Amino acid sequence: LGVPFNTGLAMAFKLIQAAQVRWRAVNAPHLVALVRAGAVFKAGRLVERPEEHSHHVAA
């Protein structure tokens, strides 16, 4: 089926090692829920999204 298991495992290991270099430790666990919900932070501060106003047209 192509790549032998050991070769695939070695490739996956190398990819994980490369990604790990850019990972950061979570130093604000209380904010994890906000990040998972899609909140955006810039320079460590929460960026407020403008409220979307839905305009209803009377029929």
Q: Tens digits of per-residue pLDDT, 1-59?
A: 577 889 999 999 999 999 998 888 888 889 899 989 999 999 889 998 777 655 556 65
Instruction: Report if residue 58 sits inside a domain.
Output: no
| Residue 33, pLDDT score | 92
pTM here is: 0.41
Q: Does residue 34 sit within a domain?
A: yes
52 phi and psi angles, rounded to 5 deg:
-90, 120
Q: What integer pLDDT is reported at residue 39 of this predicted model?
A: 93
Give the model's pLDDT for residue 44: 84
Alpha helix ranges (H) inside the chain: 5-20, 32-36
In a domain, 16, yes or no: yes
Distance from C-alpha of 23 to C-alpha of 57, rounded to nearest angstrom: 48
| Residue 14: domain span | 5-47
Q: Give me the pLDDT at residue 17, please.
A: 94
Check: CB of residue 49 under 8 Å from CB of residue 37: no
What is the number of alpha carbons within 13 Å of residue 57 lying toward its C-beta? Answer: 1
